[in-house]
């Protein structure tokens, strides 16, 4: 069994860690470990909701250890209140290790590897097995957004890097950062679930959005302080229909976002299950990746860019290193628009919306899907399994697991 300390709830918007864990379970059973939960956690989320954030946090009732699908279990460790307070975070890490060992003993499966995507002291939970520190964000650059001390994040990051058997990062920028610290890191970019978007144009229209009379620009994902809200406002100002799918975090200005979503050409659905996203993709013509270009976002690898392509949609993104990495491939450069100014971004959206009725739209959709399939999560999971020496285990799925790159 692979124990996967995710740092993200299994429920909610499905991100890198849930998708990676689900695909890793094709080779070995996986225990997915949610962030710790205390008696005060519901209160914290309730306060966040009162501030206007659609948190959609899992309500922990009944078993805290349950099977989500064949080969994949999920654990929500219960800990003491004040879990991330200075000093208390060490107790939280200790309690988490204890809870995980008990869960593994209950499942009765030997642990063969550990993945940690958080800077907490968790890689030592099962001594003697291969360990992977899986870095998906520049945590220190995002300390304010995460609400945690930068110094603690930096210290935890170095401890994890020193204790891990190997390190994987999602972007070249993160690879360079760890190289500067004296550590070798393998770049394993984010992927997409290409098969989930097959036949997207034949899916039922979502019940909670209107049928638009013009091509639609859309954003799918977390609506938070990482987004350049001005770009979304500019698109709405230009009169284009704008569809927003995802929960709003309180780091996104409440009044400004409310003004945006009050416009007649803007529709916001709030949080929607990951399995329902292909239906919403049907309504989108141009997918948007409108991130602020700061140190935190420069180190990231937005999932949505590849998901838009998997649905056959055109993509307009701000100019991020991850986008540039995709565009280094000639096909990627032909299929992804990356712009570094607000005017150029809005102009690109306008052009892509106008081109959606062109004679080559069907051919472009096929090319986008084919390009996205080269970046499928199964390929990414096999890379991570290889780093952990876990390929070819009891859940190896044969032809389905063989990469097509």
Mean predicted confidence (pLDDT) in 2-26: 90
231 vs 391, higher pLDDT: 231
Mean pLDDT in residue range 353-379: 92
Task: Answer yes or no: are the C-beta atoms of 232 and 219 closer than 8 Å.
Answer: yes
Residue range 124-148: mean pLDDT, rounded: 88
- Joined together, the tokens standing for residue 221 give 């994902």
| 84, 160: one domain | yes
Q: 145-159, 175-189, 198-212: lowest mean pLDDT where?
A: 145-159
Encoded tokens for 24: 């890793």
58 has pLDDT over 80: no
| 309 vs 317: CA distance, rounded Å | 12
Question: Residues 166-186: what's their mean pLDDT?
Answer: 95
What pLDDT does 50 receive?
A: 53
56 has a pLDDT exceeding 80: no
Three-state secondary structure call for residue 172: helix
In the structure, what pLDDT confidence band is assigned to residue 34 with cuts at 50, 70 and 90? very high
Lowest mean pLDDT among 33-42, 190-199, 315-324: 33-42
Backbone angles phi, psi at 212, to 5 degrees: -80, 150
Q: Are residues 140 and 203 in the same domain?
A: no
The model carries a pTM of 0.86
Phi-psi label, residue 128: left if phi above 0, alpha if psi -120 to 50, beta otherwise: left
Number of structural domains (the chain) is 2
Same domain, 140 and 33: yes
Does residue 342 share a domain with residue 246? Answer: yes
Bridge pairing between strands 113-116 and 286-289: unpaired
User: pLDDT tens digits, residue range 315-334?
Assistant: 999 999 999 999 999 999 99
Q: Do 210 and 104 lie in a common domain?
A: no
Q: Are residues 175 and 255 in the same domain?
A: no
CATH of the domain at 272: 3.40.50.2000
Residue 145 has pLDDT above 80, yes or no: no
DSSP conformational letter for 266: E
341 and 354 belong to one structural domain: yes
Tell whether 262 and 381 lie within a shared domain: no
Average of pLDDT values for 13-20? Answer: 88
304: exposed, middle or buried (C-beta count within 10 Å: 0-12, 13-18, 19+)?
buried
Residue 10 belongs to what H/E stretch?
A: none
Count of other CB atoms within 10 angstroms of residue 7: 22
Spatial CB neighbours of 100, under 8 Å, sequence gap ≥ 6: 3, 5, 31, 33, 75, 77, 122, 125
pLDDT attached to residue 51? 53
Domain containing residue 274: 194-373
Give tens-digit pLDDT for 251-275. 899 999 999 999 999 999 998 988 8
How high is the pLDDT of residue 5? 97
Token digits of residue 130: 């291969």
Please tell me the distance from the alpha carbon of residue 285 to that of residue 311, in angstroms, as a whole number.
Answer: 10
Q: Percent of the chain at pLDDT above 90?
A: 71
Place of tokens 């209107």: 210
- 400: pLDDT strictly greater than 60: no
pLDDT at 81 over 80: no
User: Based on the domain organization, do 94 and 234 belong to the same domain?
Assistant: no
CA–CA gap between residue 310 and residue 360 (Å, rounded): 17
Does 203 lie in the same domain as 187?
A: no
Higher local confidence (pLDDT), 37 or 206: 206
* Residues 228 and 151 occupy one common structural domain: no
Q: Predicted confidence band at 359 (pLDDT cuts at 50, 70, 90)?
A: confident
Rounded average pLDDT over 158-178: 95
| Tens digits of residue pLDDT in 291-312 | 999 999 999 999 999 999 999 9
Tokens representing 141? Answer: 């650059």
Asked if residue 227 and residue 137 are part of one domain, the reply reads no
What's 391's DSSP letter? T
pLDDT at 380 over 60: yes
Q: Is 220 helix (H, G, I), strand (E, B) or coil?
A: strand
């Amino acid at each position: 069994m692979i124990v996967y300390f995710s740092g993200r709830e299994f429920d909610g918007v499905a991100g890198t860690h849930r998708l990676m864990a689900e695909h890793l379970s094709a080779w070995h059973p996986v225990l997915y470990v949610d962030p710790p939960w205390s008696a005060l956690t519901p209160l914290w989320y309730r306060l966040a909701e009162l501030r206007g954030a659609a948190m959609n946090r899992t309500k922990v009732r009944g078993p805290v250890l349950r099977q989500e699908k064949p080969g994949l279990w999920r654990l929500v460790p219960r800990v003491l209140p004040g879990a991330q307070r200075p000093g208390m975070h060490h107790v939280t890490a200790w309690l988490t290790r204890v809870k995980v060992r008990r869960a593994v003993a209950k499942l009765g499966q030997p642990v063969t590897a550990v993945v940690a995507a958080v800077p907490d002291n968790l890689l030592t939970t099962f001594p003697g097995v291969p360990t992977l520190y899986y870095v998906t964000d520049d945590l220190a650059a995002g300390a304010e957004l995460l609400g945690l001390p930068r110094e603690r994040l930096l210290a935890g990051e170095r401890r994890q890097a020193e204790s891990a058997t190997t390190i994987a990062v999602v972007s070249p920028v993160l690879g360079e950062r760890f190289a500067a610290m004296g550590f070798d890191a393998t770049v394993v970019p984010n992927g997409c679930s290409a098969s989930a978007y097959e036949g997207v144009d034949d899916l039922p229209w979502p019940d909670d959005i209107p049928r638009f009379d013009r091509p639609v620009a859309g954003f799918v994902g977390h609506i938070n302080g990482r987004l350049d809200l001005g770009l979304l406002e500019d698109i709405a100002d230009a009169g284009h229909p704008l569809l927003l799918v995802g929960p709003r975090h309180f780091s996104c200005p409440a009044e400004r976002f409310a003004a945006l979503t009050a416009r007649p050409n803007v529709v916001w659905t709030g949080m929607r299950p990951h399995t329902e996203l292909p239906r919403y993709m049907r309504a989108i013509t141009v997918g948007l990746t409108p991130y602020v270009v700061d140190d935190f976002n420069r180190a990231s690898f937005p999932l949505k860019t590849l998901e838009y392509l998997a649905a056959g949609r055109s993509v307009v993104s701000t100019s991020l290193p991850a986008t540039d990495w995709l565009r280094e491939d000639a096909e990627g450069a032909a299929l992804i628009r990356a712009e570094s100014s607000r005017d150029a971004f809005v102009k690109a959206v306008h052009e892509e919306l106008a081109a959606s009725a062109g004679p080559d739209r069907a051919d472009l959709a096929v090319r986008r899907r084919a390009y996205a399939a080269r970046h499928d999560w199964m390929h990414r999971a096999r890379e991570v399994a290889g780093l952990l020496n876990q390929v070819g285990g009891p859940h190896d799925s044969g032809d389905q697991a063989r990469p097509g790159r």
